[in-house]
Chains A and B, each alone.
Chain A
Amino acid sequence: MANLKNSKSQSMGLHKEVLKGRTQQVFFNPEEAENFFYYGAHDVNFNKRSEIDALDLTAAQLNDKLHSLMKEGYGSVVVKNPQGKHSLGVGILNKLNLIFEGSLGYFGVGSIDGPVVRITGRVGWSCAENMMAGKVVIEKNAGSCFGAAIRGGDLICKGSVGARTGIDMKGGTIIVGGDAGAFTGFMMQRGRIIVLGNAGINLGDSMYDGTIFIGGKIKSFGSDAVKAKVTSDDISWLKRKLKVAEIGSNFDFSKMTKVVAGKKLWNYDALEPSEKKGAI
């Protein structure tokens, strides 16, 4: 295990805190170049392009085919006729330009780290769940649990999304061009959600941290979600993000409502039974 206390990166002022925890020391040692690459990631050429017709393929066959193409150096892949099948394009830990011409079912492009994905149709539940990095753009609508537990990257739906968007998210940005359903940002811990349209009931319920921006009406706030002031820094960040997302170019940012965690969750304040006994 590397000793990070007196590392070269520290002496360069790159980070001040000593990383704690065994996994961080083992897997995220910035002194070791190989740690910047995923084992098994392929060197792909974006100019090398291929097409797959998913009409008669199972999800496993399609995903295997994608990995084979990346292994052969293909950096741009178009998938035709995805037909709403589940679990397509999952587990891509690679740079890749991936286009789905059509709609995906449940768990589309889940657990990805790096690819840029464009889906011309809609997506079902749990799209991009556990996404680590990259960019996913959906041209139409999305189902519930959109971007559940994402850690990073940009997840963009130009249409409307279902309930529990960004549930348990720990980083990254979710951008929704239309409306969002109930419990948007439920138990989110980090990251940002931008919804240009309306939000359903219990917005930001039990959120620990992170920020939600809503452009339209909010049906109701969830437990511990509170309004905050939209700053000029927020607006410049929003403008930049929406420009990258290619939506909301004429959006009136003065209408935005910023929602953050009040950090007064009832269970934080409530004493454990043994503590209550002591308090008495």
Chain B
Amino acid sequence: MCGIAGLIHKGKTVNIGKELQDMLQALKHRGPDSTGFALYGQGNNQGDYIMRFKVGENVAEGSSAINEDKSVYDERRKQVDKHIRDLGGSIVNDAQLTPYSFRYCIKYDKDLMEFSKRIESVEMTEILSLGKSLELVKDIGDAGVVSKQYGLDKIKGTHAIGHSRMATESGVDIRSAHPFWGYPFSDVSVVHNGQLTNYWNSRRTLENKGMRFMSECDSELIAVYLADKMRRGIDLKDGMKDSLKELDGVFTYLVATKDSLGMAKDTMAAKPMVLYESDNLVAMGSEEIAIRTLLPQEIDTYDPYDGEVKVWQI
């Protein structure tokens, strides 16, 4: 089933981590397996890249990945550090959040794809996000558990998207959890509710173009698909409109960039989405109860129609 939620404050910075946590916790019944946050914060004020990455997995039911001994993580992290230095980058500050997850601030001014390929050449290492404001965190457990584990309720920002996952197409692990980073574009993330039925064909096509997939989750296709569109200079909204014709299946998805948030609903309108729009705030969720955590008073909401694409700016 899965639950997705998003919100964008126009011209205002708020405690975005806490707001999204509350929204996703309200959707816990739609998918308790894993929870993910893509929070668009203030960065480190120096214009450096923030890289969230993992060097191992947190594995639960149905996953083909394995839980490893923690001793391997230190060695992998050292290899990552070396690659960053070899590529001409420097680590401004770093934090270890779990035995396998890290947050680095990095000075780097060259090609992000080359950078990402080198970092991910380290065994079991995946960049969860790379950007100047995006903080992408995902792990097993509900929103409260993941938020507490990573200290997300203190992150301030303007907009965010998130996902509570019920694993259907692939196992329960971090690599299959949402959101997905729009590799190799900084600050692009995607969450999805639904099923894509042309996943393998589309994946093969995109892999032949040099795009990378880290999981076997069909939702990752949307992030890679949109990244490929943007790589070819296609505007985000136009790329989203194309996706309605080219992605097969039932879906509602949210995509966020450093200054915008968009949603798309397939032509069958088979997956839910409730929207609230005002001059200062746009909030959306698979169910209205997610929006109600922000706005308990009586509000006007609506369901977007089939084949609808919307994009909002901060």
Please, which residues of chain B bring their CB within 8 A of the CB of A163? 268-270, 305-306
- CB pair B303 A84 closer than 8 Å: no
Determine which of A102, A120, A160 lies in contact with B302 in the assembled complex, contact meaning CB atoms within 8 Å: A160
- CB pair A182 B289 closer than 8 Å: no
Most A CB within 10 A of own CB, among B270, B287, B296, B306: B306
* Residue A162 CB within 8 A of the other chain: yes
CB-CB under 8 A for A201 and B306, given A103-B301, A143-B272: yes
Please, which residues of chain B bring their CB within 8 A of the CB of A200? 269, 305-306
Question: Complex formed: what's the CA distance from A103 to B270 in Å?
Answer: 22
B contact residues, range: 20 to 34
* Residue A124 CB within 8 A of the other chain: yes
The smallest C-beta distance from A94 to any residue of chain B, in angstroms, reads: 27
Question: Complex formed: what's the CA distance from A179 to B308 in Å?
Answer: 14
Chain A, residue nearest B272 (CB): A125
Chain A, residue nearest B285 (CB): A84
Determine which of B267, B288, B296, B305 lies in contact with A124 in the assembled complex, contact meaning CB atoms within 8 Å: B288
Please, which residues of chain A bring their CB within 8 A of the CB of B270? 163
- CB pair B268 A182 closer than 8 Å: yes
Question: Complex formed: what's the CA distance from A150 to B307 in Å?
Answer: 27
Please, which residues of chain B bring their CB within 8 A of the CB of A125? 272
- CB pair B289 A141 closer than 8 Å: no
Please, which residues of chain A bring their CB within 8 A of the CB of B287? 84, 86, 105-106, 124
A→B interface (CB under 8 Å): 83-86, 101-103, 105-106, 120-122, 124-125, 140-144, 159-160, 162-164, 179, 181-183, 200-201
- CB pair B302 A122 closer than 8 Å: yes
Please, which residues of chain A bring their CB within 8 A of the CB of B302? 122, 141, 159-160
Determine which of A86, A103, A159, A179 lies in contact with B298 in the assembled complex, contact meaning CB atoms within 8 Å: A103
Please, which residues of chain A bring their CB within 8 A of the CB of B291? 84
Question: Complex formed: what's the CA distance from A176 to B15 in Å?
Answer: 39
Please, which residues of chain A bring their CB within 8 A of the CB of B288? 84, 103, 105, 122, 124
- CB pair B289 A162 closer than 8 Å: no
CB-CB under 8 A for A83 and B292, given A102-B298, A124-B274: yes
Question: Complex formed: what's the CA distance from A49 to B296 in Å?
Answer: 26
The smallest C-beta distance from A155 to any residue of chain B, in angstroms, reads: 17
Determine which of B267, B269, B300 lies in contact with A122 in the assembled complex, contact meaning CB atoms within 8 Å: B300
Question: Complex formed: what's the CA distance from A164 to B267 in Å?
Answer: 12
Most A CB within 10 A of own CB, among B269, B296, B299, B300: B269
Question: Complex formed: what's the CA distance from A122 to B305 in Å?
Answer: 16
The smallest C-beta distance from B264 to any residue of chain A, in angstroms, reads: 15
Chain B, residue nearest A121 (CB): B298
Please, which residues of chain B bring their CB within 8 A of the CB of A121? 298
The smallest C-beta distance from A236 to any residue of chain B, in angstroms, reads: 32
Most B CB within 10 A of own CB, among A141, A163, A183, A200: A163
Question: Complex formed: what's the CA distance from A143 to B296 in Å?
Answer: 19
Please, which residues of chain A bring their CB within 8 A of the CB of B300? 122, 140-141
Please, which residues of chain B bring their CB within 8 A of the CB of A183? 268-269
B→A interface (CB under 8 Å): 267-270, 272, 274, 287-289, 291-292, 296, 298-303, 305-307
- CB pair A181 B298 closer than 8 Å: no
- CB pair B292 A182 closer than 8 Å: no
The smallest C-beta distance from A31 to any residue of chain B, in angstroms, reads: 47
Please, which residues of chain B bring their CB within 8 A of the CB of A164? 269
- CB pair A144 B303 closer than 8 Å: yes
- CB pair A182 B267 closer than 8 Å: yes
- CB pair B269 A182 closer than 8 Å: yes
The smallest C-beta distance from B304 to any residue of chain A, in angstroms, reads: 9
- Some 11 contacts from A to B, beta carbons below 8 A apart, are A83-B289, A83-B296, A85-B289, A103-B298, A141-B303, A142-B303, A144-B269, A163-B270, A182-B305, A200-B269, A200-B306
Chain B, residue nearest A164 (CB): B269
Please, which residues of chain A bring their CB within 8 A of the CB of B272? 124-125, 143-144
Question: Complex formed: what's the CA distance from A140 to B276 in Å?
Answer: 13
The smallest C-beta distance from A167 to any residue of chain B, in angstroms, reads: 12
- CB pair B303 A181 closer than 8 Å: yes
Question: Complex formed: what's the CA distance from A140 to B296 in Å?
Answer: 17
- CB pair A86 B289 closer than 8 Å: yes
- CB pair B303 A162 closer than 8 Å: yes
Please, which residues of chain B bring their CB within 8 A of the CB of A102? 298
18 new A-B pairs (CB below 8 Å) besides A103-B301, A182-B307, A201-B307?
A83-B296, A103-B288, A103-B299, A105-B287, A105-B288, A122-B288, A141-B300, A141-B303, A143-B272, A143-B303, A144-B269, A159-B302, A162-B305, A163-B268, A181-B269, A182-B305, A183-B268, A200-B305
Question: Complex formed: what's the CA distance from A200 to B287 in Å?
Answer: 22
Please, which residues of chain A bring their CB within 8 A of the CB of B292? 83-84
The smallest C-beta distance from A40 to any residue of chain B, in angstroms, reads: 29
Question: Complex formed: what's the CA distance from A140 to B300 in Å?
Answer: 8
Most A CB within 10 A of own CB, among B268, B298, B307: B298
Please, which residues of chain A bring their CB within 8 A of the CB of B307? 182, 201
Question: Complex formed: what's the CA distance from A276 to B216 in Å?
Answer: 43
